Amino acid sequence: MNTIPTDAVTSGPVRSGPDHPAVSGPATEPGTEPGTAAGKAAETAAGSAAGTEQAGYLDEKLAQVRAMDFLQYRSPDLPTWCPGCGYFGIMDAFYKACRELNLAHENICAVSGIGCSGRTPIFINSYGFHTLHGRSIPVATGLKLAREDLTVFAMAGDGDALGIGGGHLPHAARKNIDITFILFDNSIYGLTKGQSSSTTPYEMKTNSHPVGNPDTPLNPVKLALAYGASFVARGYAGDPEGMKQLIKAGTLHRGFSFIQILTPCVTFDKTNRTWKALKEKVCSLNLHAPAPDNMENAMRAAENEPYGTGIFYQDKDRPSYQDILRRMQNV
């Protein structure tokens, strides 16, 4: 927020009279009052100096970003999300993860469904599919089976993946298809203007349930664990560094990787999953387990730590679906 400095309204001469109503302002040099030629020159000089200072700041920041060398994974298309949307943070983490893994652009394919997350492949400098509503996982599955050499990401929102597309998650998980699925979970349908989704809290008021949501919300992490996903994690859109590490770990994992990202909808949710609420509630996962492959502890954490972030479960020894197919073909 711009504020007015105190001296801007207390310093300087006060002129009054028929031609000069009582006005106060910063003192000016004689002959440089606004409206005079000298005054206009002074204003121009001041504006030029401010512009130069701002340009210098931007140049410095751009140099820092270029030095990090992750913008190569961004496409020339600018995101169309609302200002303040958590999806910007998710993509920042995604780009940096790709850079640190040194993934070749031509070997990446991002697959999305419909919703605010649906345009995600358009913003990535790689191959991509913007598919049908709820169908990012089956398309990504077919792609990976046909081209095992590709690094395949499936991306979807909570409504897209757990509503109309909810029937696809269990089969990709149980088969252990070697793809990374990123769930953009803001607990609401954003693109269609604020209706209740599969993860909207009970009794929360939305545009489709103005007196309160009557449905019990799904727990995405518990679902992924119950379906047999071999890698299950949760991140937070306000923690790009943490998300980057989770995306890297999920990408390197051989098998089905499920990553839920908690993110706000700044336009249609002003009470539940806001930035303020998430900042207060999100914490590091505390599994109290000697190893991350303890399913019992992972399930308990999924039930009791709805805002815990980190890796809930990982089975590094379980063969991927492609490994199983090769083994069967060689018998």
Q: How many CB atoms lie within 10 A of CB 226?
A: 14
Q: What is the pLDDT of residues 11-49, one digit of tens each?
A: 333 333 444 443 334 444 555 555 666 655 656 666 666
Would you say residue 325 lies in a domain?
yes
The set of residues, in sequence order, having a beta carbon less than 8 Å from that of 55 and lying 6+ positions away, is: none
CATH of the domain at 211: 3.40.50.970
The set of residues, in sequence order, having a beta carbon less than 8 Å from that of 74 and lying 6+ positions away, is: 91, 95, 123, 124, 125
Would you say residue 202 lies in a domain?
yes
Would you say residue 136 lies in a domain?
yes
Residues 179 and 42 placed together within one structural domain of the fold = no
Residues 232 and 298 placed together within one structural domain of the fold = yes
| Domain assignment of residue 187, given as a range | 86-330
Contact 321, 294 (CB under 8 A): no
Q: 303: part of which helix (H) or strand (E)?
A: helix 295-304
Contact 111, 159 (CB under 8 A): no
Mean pLDDT, all residues of the chain: 83
Contact 219, 206 (CB under 8 A): no
Residues 261 and 297 placed together within one structural domain of the fold = yes
Q: Is 30 helix (H, G, I), strand (E, B) or coil?
A: coil
Residues 150 and 202 placed together within one structural domain of the fold = yes
Note the pLDDT of residue 1. 41
- Integer Cα distance of 260 and 185 in angstroms: 7
Would you say residue 15 lies in a domain?
no
Residue 245 has pLDDT above 70, yes or no: yes
Looking at the 3D structure of the chain, how many domains does it have?
2
Residues 187 and 51 placed together within one structural domain of the fold = no
Residues 56 and 124 placed together within one structural domain of the fold = no
Note the pLDDT of residue 13. 36
Domain boundary (62, 78, 105) is at 62
Residue 293 has pLDDT above 80, yes or no: no
Residues 164 and 44 placed together within one structural domain of the fold = no
Q: Which of 104, 124, 99 is nearest to 112 (CA)?
A: 124
Would you say residue 163 lies in a domain?
yes
- Please give the backbone phi and psi of residue 280, each rounded to the nearest 5 degrees, phi first: -75, -30
pTM for this one?
0.79
Note the pLDDT of residue 181. 98
Q: Give DSSP secondary structure letters for 163-182.
A: IITTTTHHHHHHHT-S-EEE
Would you say residue 3 lies in a domain?
no
Q: What is the pLDDT of residues 178-187, one digit of tens each?
A: 999 999 998 8
pLDDT band with cut points at 50, 70 and 90 for residue 198: confident
Would you say residue 16 lies in a domain?
no
Residues 115 and 211 placed together within one structural domain of the fold = yes
Residues 169 and 227 placed together within one structural domain of the fold = yes
Residues 177 and 315 placed together within one structural domain of the fold = yes
Note the pLDDT of residue 37. 64
Residues 48 and 136 placed together within one structural domain of the fold = no
Residues 264 and 185 placed together within one structural domain of the fold = yes
Note the pLDDT of residue 70. 72
Percent of the chain with pLDDT over 90: 54
Regarding beta strands 257-262 and 231-236, do their DSSP bridges make them parallel or antiparallel, or are they unpaired?
A: parallel
- Integer Cα distance of 157 and 197 in angstroms: 10
Q: Which amino acid is at 25?
A: G
**125-134, 214-223, 282-291, range with the lowest pLDDT:** 282-291
Would you say residue 289 lies in a domain?
yes
